Amino acid sequence: MNAPKVNASDYVQFLIASPRVVSGTEAARVQPHGSDSAPAHDAFTRLLHRLEPDPVQLWEESRTQVERRRGVLILDDTTLDKPYAQHMGLVTRHWSGKHRSVVQGINLLTLLWSDGHRLIPVDYRIYDRPNDGLTKNDHFRALLETAYARGFEPECVLFDSWYSSLENLKAVRSYGWTWLTRFKSDRQVNPDGSGNRPVAECEIGEGGTRVHLRGYGFVRVFRIVPTNGDTADADYWASSDEQMSECTRQTYASFAWGIEQYHRGLKQYCGVERAQVRAARAQRNHIGLSIRAFVRLERNRIRTGMSWWEAKTSITRDAVRAYLAAPRFTLGATA
C-alpha cells in the first residue's frame, strides 16, 4: 500500500494560507511540488475521510500554550453557517447570535483557556444529537470533566446563561471551581428569606448582592444597567464566589468576551465554515484541523504581536507583490 501523499499538517498549513477557497481541488492546485509529485485533490479528500476525528490531537498541540493552574476556562458554542447544505452531515437547525434567528448549520462547542491576553482552545465537541443522543449540556459537562482530568485549576469558569442550569452549576462546584455566568431576568432567587422571586424583582446593590439560588445555595448576583438607565434591559450576572467584587466581575466578563473573538478568528481566518465535503467524518476532521490552524495563528500573535489578519494578509501580500512585478493580464499594444 502506498503511503499517503498528504498529512494533517499539510492541510492545516493550507487552511492558514488559503485566502478564501477551501477544497481538495484548490489545495492540490497550490502545492509547491513538481507536476509529477504533487498530490491530487483526491489525496486531500481521502485525508479528511481517513483521519480519526479526535479532539485529543488539539490538546497535544495546545497543552504547551496554557498554564493549567491559572487563567480562566471559557465555554460557549457557535453555529457554523451552512445555509445551502442539503445532504451534509452534522447540519441541523440552531439559534445564531449573528443572524438573531434560527439557521441551518453545524453547532460547535469549544472550551477556551485565557489569561486575558492569550486565547487557546483546549477542547471541543460537535453537536450531533440525532446520532449520539447528547445535548449541549451533556457536552458542557463532558468538556469540564476532561479539563479536570487534565489537571486544570482555573481561577474561574465562564459561560453563558444557556449553560446555567442547576446541574451544570453543581458540576462546576464538584470540581472545586468558581463560576461566573449570566442569569435570565426570571431566574428564581431568594434575597432576604421571604421567598423566591425573579431576580429582576430583587433589589441588587451596585457591588452585587448575596442571594439564595433555589436548588443550589448562596451566590452573588450583579445587575448591569445599560448606559441609558433603562432597568428593564438590565443584564444579570451571578457567581459562586459570594465575596466577588464588581471589579473582579468586570475583569472576568472581559475575559469571557475572548471566546467571541476566537469564534470570529476561526471563521474569518481558518476557513472552518468553508469545507466542501458532505460526510460527517470529513466535516469533523475539517473543523478539528481548522481549530489547530487557529492555535498556530494565535501562537504567532502572542510571540510576534502580529494580528491574525496581518499574519494571513502577509501571505497573500507576497503573492500580490510578485504578480505586480510581472503582470500577466494586460491589453497589450493598443496602437
Predicted confidence at residue 97, as pLDDT, reads 73
Q: Is the pLDDT of residue 82 over 60?
A: yes
Spatial separation of the C-alpha atoms in residues 145 and 167, rounded to whole Å: 13
pLDDT tens digit sequence for 180-189: 999 999 999 9
* pLDDT at 199 (0 to 100): 92
For the chain, give the mean pLDDT. Answer: 90
Please report how many Cα atoms fall inside a 13 Å half-sphere around the Cα of residue 69, on the Cβ side: 0
The mean per-residue pLDDT over the stretch 73-101 comes to 82
Residue 270: its H or E element:
none
What percent of the chain shows pLDDT beyond 90? 64
Least confident of 138-142, 178-182, 293-297, 327-331: 327-331
Confidence of residue 146 (pLDDT cuts 50, 70, 90): very high
In the chain, which residues fall in CATH 3.30.420.10?
1-178+250-320
CATH of range 1-178+250-320; options 3.40.50.2300, 3.30.420.10, 3.60.70.12, 3.40.50.300: 3.30.420.10
Better-predicted residue by pLDDT, 266 or 229: 266
Residue range 203-227: average pLDDT?
A: 91
How much is the pTM?
Answer: 0.91
pLDDT at 134: 95
Mean pLDDT of 9-19: 91
Predicted pLDDT of residue 41: 79
**DSSP E strand stretches across 209-301:** 209-213, 217-224, 235-239
Q: Which range scores top for mean pLDDT: 75-89, 212-226, 228-242?
A: 212-226
The cell numbers describing 90, all together, are: 452534522
Query: Is 256 in contact with 241 (CB distance < 8 Å)?
Result: no
How confident is the model over 253-264, as a mean pLDDT? 96
Average pLDDT over residues 61-86: 91
Cα 279 vs. chain centroid, distance in angstroms? 22
| pLDDT value at 229 more than 60 | no
Within 8 A by CB and 6+ apart from 78, the residues are 97, 107, 108, 110, 263, 266, 267
Q: Report the pLDDT value the prediction gives residue 186, as an integer from 0 to 100.
A: 92
